[in-house]
Amino acid sequence: MTKDSAAPTSAPPTAYESFQRILPRIDEVALAVAAEARAATGGNDFALIAPEDIAKNSKAERYIHDYAMALYRAGWSSEAAAADANIVGHHIEVFANHELHRRKTFWVDPPLA
Say what the pLDDT of residue 111 is: 79
Containing structural domain, residue 65: 15-104
Would you say residue 41 lies in a domain? yes
Q: pTM value?
A: 0.80
Would you say residue 1 lies in a domain? no
Which of residues 9 and 42 earns the better pLDDT score? 42
Name the domain count of the chain: 1
Would you say residue 2 lies in a domain? no
SS (H, E, C) the chain: CCCCCCCCCCCCCCHHHHHHHHCCCHHHHHHHHHHHHHHHCCCCCCCCCCHHHHHHCHHHHHHHHHHHHHHHHCCCCHHHHHHHHHHHHHHHHHHHHHHHCCCCCCCCCHHHC
* pLDDT tens readout for residues 57-94: 999 999 999 999 999 999 999 999 999 999 999 999 99
Would you say residue 92 lies in a domain? yes
Would you say residue 84 lies in a domain? yes
* pLDDT tens readout for residues 18-44: 888 999 999 999 999 999 999 998 888
